[in-house]
């Protein structure tokens, strides 16, 4: 038992000491403990929140939701602009891009936008809080919880160890998708009057699936090409993105294909 604990402590110490020194002092980056505590709190809320609200009236929260979603549209738009602009200014390769660990202006700017992308994943946990307060438990699916919780962990690891390089491609695509996703959420929260303008929900899911195909292809290519970006992160990204693709594809089938088939029968 003692040796096992020592081994875990050694790995924890190694994880702390081998991150990118440029980002190590940034908020929530140095240690995995704050993020772990946040995730534990989030999962407890997922379990206990609906029970707490079961005997209470749902909150409408139209104003706060509109502000929240608009804020995330603007933040996602800023992230997309930064990822794309920095990659172009620094002549990033869209096939193989190692991390620039220097303290040059563009390298630090890329590291900072990676941190903001990570921080946005912490903010997006509020999606679930709003579902709980509005008593919409059907929205708190396994896909929803898995996606929110794991994205936060993945981006923490990215900012801690590889803030840039190949990660810019993932952040750029994801931010673009989130512009449209939170625009949809923002319009939907305004009520039934907006329903005629939300016909494009199905295409939003298709856009998300295309994103996963692009990221999977990008990561897979770099496993077979000679690229000085850690294979471990490429493999983790590949497997994780495949899991999201499978879950979103199942959502698409259940929501748009199965439901349509049942209506026809």
Q: Following DSSP, what letter does each residue of the chain receive, concatenated? A: -HHHHHHHHHHHHHHHHTS-TTTTTSTTTS-SHHHHHHHHHHHHHHHHHHHHHTTSPPP--HHHHHHHHHHHHHHHHHHHHHHHHHHHHTT--SS------S--HHHHHHHHHHHHHHHHHHHTTHHHHHHHHTT-GGG--HHHHHHHHHHHHHHHHHHHH-SSTTHHHHHHHHHHHHHHHHHHHHHHTT-GGGGGG-TTHHHHHHHHHHHHHHHHHHHHHHHHS--SS-HHHHHHHHHHHHHHHHHHHHHHIIIIIIHHHHHH-
- List residues with catalytic annotation: 147
């Amino acid at each position: 038992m003692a040796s096992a604990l020592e081994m875990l402590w050694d790995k924890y110490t190694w994880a702390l000491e081998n991150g990118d020194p440029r980002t190590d002092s940034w908020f929530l980056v140095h240690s995995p403990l704050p993020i772990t505590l946040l995730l534990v709190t989030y999962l407890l809320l997922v379990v206990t929140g609906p029970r707490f609200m079961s005997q209470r009236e749902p909150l409408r929260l139209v104003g706060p939701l509109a502000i929240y979603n608009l804020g995330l549209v603007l933040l996602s738009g800023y992230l997309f602009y930064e990822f794309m602009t920095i990659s172009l200014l620094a002549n990033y390769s869209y096939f193989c891009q190692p991390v620039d660990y220097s303290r040059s202006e563009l390298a630090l700017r890329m590291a900072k936008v990676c941190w903001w992308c990570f921080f946005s994943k912490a903010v997006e946990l509020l999606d679930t809080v709003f579902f709980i307060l509005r008593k919409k438990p059907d929205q708190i699916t396994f896909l929803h919880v898995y996606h929110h919780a794991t994205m936060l962990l993945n981006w923490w690891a990215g900012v801690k160890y590889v803030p840039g390089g190949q990660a810019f491609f993932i952040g750029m695509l994801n931010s673009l998708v989130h512009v449209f996703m939170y625009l949809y959420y923002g319009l939907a929260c305004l009520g039934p009057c907006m329903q005629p303008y939300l016909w494009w929900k199905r295409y939003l899911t298709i856009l998300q699936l295309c994103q996963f195909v692009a990221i999977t292809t990008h990561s897979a290519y770099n496993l077979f090409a000679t690229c000085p970006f850690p294979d471990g992160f490429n493999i983790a990204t590949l497997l994780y993105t495949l899991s999201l693709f499978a879950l979103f594809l199942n959502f698409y089938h259940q929501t748009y294909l199965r439901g349509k088939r049942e209506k026809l029968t």
